[in-house]
Amino acid sequence: MSTLEIRDLHVTVGEREIVKGLSLTLDAGTVAAIMGPNGCGKSTLANAIAGRPGYQITGGSVMINGESLLELPSDERARHGLFLALQQPLDVPGVRPLDMLTAAGATGDVASVMNVEAQRLGLRPELLQRFVNVDLSGGERKRAEIVQLAALRPAVAILDEIDSGLDVDALGAVARRVHEATREWNCAVLAITHFRRLLNELTPDIVYVMTDGAIVASGGMELVDELEANGYEKFRTR
């Protein structure tokens, strides 16, 4: 049994089908990358798995450790071990990170874990005293998301363009922290990205190419080289 199993998933936004029969499996302690052109449905896939409003699942299944997620509200999905780092992390005025993490099920001395993790990621710990993401820069938000990941220790982490807006040093720190998560608690990581520099540090076990709502190819880092050299044209289905 795989940690994450997505089978023949179909997702509609508004009236349009965006994810069109996507299947993949992800084992504990492994990293899968998804690469695909703008608009092919990567964020829609991530948002639908996380149960965000506005994404209608019209077919297929998503399971974590054999348990179906799709009937559950999004907060329950988090309790079942799913973590999503959004492409555009949201402000949550009025809520502090510590309270949010405790409500989401983080246990132990969450405040000191947050401090340690902020330092590991090169994020000033006092920024985590503010309301969630309020007045943080793009790069600080991304690092704050990884602090949350580390405090929650999810079974499955979906990272939607966690590299966007990060400078080279921050990118390295984030990628190393996520990679260590695969060893520390066997986190299964699904990393959506356009860029090789993240994957150099994250060292994916498999790379998937997504075009037009489905996986159309898979392979190793040589596939990333090919995409960087030649683009997505030969993978487009229409």
Residue 237 binding target from Mg ion, ligand ADP, none, CB below 5 to 8 Å by type = none
- Tell the smallest beta-carbon distance from residue 189 to Mg ion (Å): 17
Segment 76 to 105, residues that bind Mg ion, using CB under 5 A: 87
Give the residue, chosen from 3, 12, 30, 43, that forms a contact with Mg ion under the rule CB under 5 A. 43
Ranges within 32-91 binding ligand ADP (CB under 6 A): 36, 38-44, 54
Q: What are the φ/ψ torsions at residue 78 (nearest 5 degrees)?
A: -60, -40
**Given the complex with ligand ADP, which of 158 and 181 has the nearer CB atom?**
158
Check residue 3 for interaction with Mg ion (CB under 5 A).
no
Torsion of CA 157, 56, 35, 212, to 10 degrees: 170
Closest to Mg ion by CB, 3 vs 43, is 43
Residue closer to Mg ion (CB basis): 43 or 133: 43
Enumerate residues 9-28 that contact ligand ADP by CB under 6 A.
Answer: 13-14, 18
Nearer to ligand ADP, 13 or 206 (CB): 13
Shortest Cβ 42–Mg ion spacing (Å): 5
What is the rounded distance in angstroms from the CA atom of residue 93 to the CA atom of residue 187?
Answer: 29
Per CB under 6 A, contacts with ligand ADP among 182-221 are none
> Under the rule (CB under 5 A), what is the footprint of Mg ion?
42-43, 87
> Under the rule (CB under 6 A), what is the footprint of ligand ADP?
13-14, 18, 36, 38-44, 54
